[in-house]
């Protein structure tokens, strides 16, 4: 079985134990027989949309309440860095619904990582990028650099990272967890269930291709296209499970407030089964990080589905709507969607993606880039006095 080939049995046994404990807890906000939301909406109960899990539904009133409460919390400083870049991706493959008229036939896609610093100097990462080139079969990639090195190069201490919230568990978003051994991983129960389910999908169906992973040896020719397990190669799964088995993980099931001004919102099946968003209170209003559920800012702006994997289009659009609501109180009310942080927006690190216009090439960063989104708590700027803004492309090193 693939399970036995990829991972030690003990790790999976531990995961099953974790799942068993979770199953015994009463965590859902609604039952199958009652699809009303019970999130404390002051009597204004709303029936949740079809296909939406109870613990994934949040009413407009609930979201607005989270936005208002967050505004009374302290503000965070925020940067994003480019963990790596995929070159020459067919635009239609990235945005199958359609692309803006000015789009070329192919686009370069960054892998954006959020860095969020609080008033005490502690850092939360949203996603962790990837650095596992020995099995990665994607071609046309560049600009990869270890995330701790990227952080140090822009004046942020990687040792101050206390938690990592992954938008989902794919290799390009959860691939450097081990680089932050003391950080606590925040992951949705639904994401762990998806990994376990598809890694052990019966080979009698579809010749086992549903279980194909993103390595150089499991398929002929190498690659896995859009198979459900494509994004979960062995090393990434081991990194996620490593956090679980070392007691460095918080398994959550739906909405979760990490602290005042920082809230996880579920986006189940917006990209994968256990996708999640992160709301952060800043001087720009609420920023909402969306990983691959928000792959494209253009997609959010123009209501186009983007980067399909295990995506239910309805759920992706509902996740877009969550950002519209959470950012609706932002200073620039007409363009609150600019505060929706996309993982792979082609216009990142240009004026075309407004939130990243304050960008620069990371010194000794192998052509990777950074952007300073907003500062708070007396945090000085990390942008160099003479920022290098000449876009470059370098091979993976």
Question: What is the average per-residue pLDDT within 108-118?
Answer: 96
Res 50: pLDDT = 83
- Domain assignment of residue 206, yes or no: yes
Res 40: pLDDT = 39
Question: What is the average per-residue pLDDT within 96-114?
Answer: 84
What percent of the chain stands above pLDDT 70? 82
Contact by Cβ (8 Å): 285, 221: no
Res 21: pLDDT = 44
Res 160: pLDDT = 98
Res 154: pLDDT = 97
348-361: pLDDT as tens digits? 999 889 999 999 99
Q: Report the mean per-residue pLDDT for the chain.
A: 84
Cis amide prior to 85 (ω within 30 degrees): no
Tokens of 44: 């204004």
Contact by Cβ (8 Å): 235, 175: yes
- Domain assignment of residue 293, yes or no: yes
Domain enclosing residue 108, as ranges = 2-17+60-374
- Statement: residue 41 has pLDDT above 60: no
What is the DSSP annotation of 340-363?
EE-SS-TTTTSTTSGGG-SEEEPT
- Domain assignment of residue 282, yes or no: yes
- Domain assignment of residue 270, yes or no: yes
pTM: 0.87
Contact by Cβ (8 Å): 355, 343: no
Question: What is the average per-residue pLDDT within 237-264?
Answer: 97
- Mean pLDDT: which of 13-27, 147-161, 333-347 is highest? 147-161
- Statement: residue 322 has pLDDT above 50: yes
Structural domains in the chain (count)? 1
Interacting residues of 211 by C-beta distance below 8 A, sequence separation 6+: 2, 198, 199, 200, 201, 203, 227, 229
Res 196: pLDDT = 94
Task: Residue 263: give its domain's CATH number.
Answer: 3.60.15.10
Strand-pair category, 123-126 with 106-117: antiparallel
- Domain assignment of residue 188, yes or no: yes
Question: What is the average per-residue pLDDT within 244-270?
Answer: 97
Q: Which residue has the higher pLDDT, 66 or 218?
A: 66
- Domain assignment of residue 44, yes or no: no
Interacting residues of 268 by C-beta distance below 8 A, sequence separation 6+: 52, 53, 55, 56, 188, 190, 274, 275, 315
- Domain assignment of residue 385, yes or no: no
Res 49: pLDDT = 84
- Domain assignment of residue 52, yes or no: no
Res 19: pLDDT = 40
Res 222: pLDDT = 54
Res 360: pLDDT = 97
Contact by Cβ (8 Å): 121, 160: yes
d(CA 397, CA 390): 20
């Amino acid at each position: 079985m693939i399970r036995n080939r990829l991972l030690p049995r003990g790790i999976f046994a531990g995961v099953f134990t974790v799942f068993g404990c979770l199953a015994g807890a009463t965590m859902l906000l609604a039952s199958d027989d009652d699809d009303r939301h019970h999130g404390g909406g002051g009597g204004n109960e709303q029936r949740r949309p079809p296909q939406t899990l109870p613990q994934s539904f949040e009413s407009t009133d609930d979201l607005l309440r989270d936005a208002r409460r967050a505004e009374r919390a302290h503000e965070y400083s925020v940067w994003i860095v480019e963990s790596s870049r995929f070159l020459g991706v067919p635009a239609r493959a990235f945005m199958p619904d359609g692309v803006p008229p000015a789009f070329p036939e192919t686009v370069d896609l960054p892998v954006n990582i959020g860095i969020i610093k609080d008033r005490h100097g502690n850092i939360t990462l949203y996603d962790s990028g990837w650095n596992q080139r020995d099995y990665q079969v994607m071609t046309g990639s560049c600009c990869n650099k270890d995330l701790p090195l990227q952080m140090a190069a822009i004046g942020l201490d990687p040792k101050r990272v206390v938690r990592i919230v992954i938008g989902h568990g794919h290799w390009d978003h959860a691939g450097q967890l081990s680089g932050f051994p003391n950080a606590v991983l925040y992951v949705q129960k639904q994401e762990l269930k998806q990994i376990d389910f598809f890694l052990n999908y019966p080979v009698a169906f579809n010749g086992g291709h549903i279980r194909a992973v993103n390595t150089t040896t499991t398929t002929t020719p190498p690659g896995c296209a859009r198979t459900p397990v494509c994004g979960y190669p062995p090393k990434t799964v081991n990194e996620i499970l490593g956090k679980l088995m070392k007691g460095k993980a918080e398994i959550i099931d739906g909405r979760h407030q990490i602290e005042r001004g920082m809230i996880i919102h579920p986006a189940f099946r917006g990209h994968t089964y256990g996708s999640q968003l992160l709301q952060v209170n800043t001087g720009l209003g609420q920023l909402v990080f969306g990983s691959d559920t928000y792959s494209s800012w253009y997609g959010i702006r123009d209501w186009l589905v983007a980067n399909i994997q295990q995506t239910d289009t309805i759920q992706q659009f509902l996740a877009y709507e969550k950002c519209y609501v959470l950012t609706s109180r932002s200073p620039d009310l007409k363009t609150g969607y600019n505060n929706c942080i996309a993982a792979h927006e082609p216009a990142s690190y240009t004026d075309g993606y407004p939130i990243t216009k304050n960008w620069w090439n990371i010194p000794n960063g192998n052509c990777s880039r950074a952007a300073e989104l907003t500062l708070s708590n007396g945090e000085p700027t990390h942008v160099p006095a003479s920022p290098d803004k000449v876009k470059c492309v370098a091979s993976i090193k």
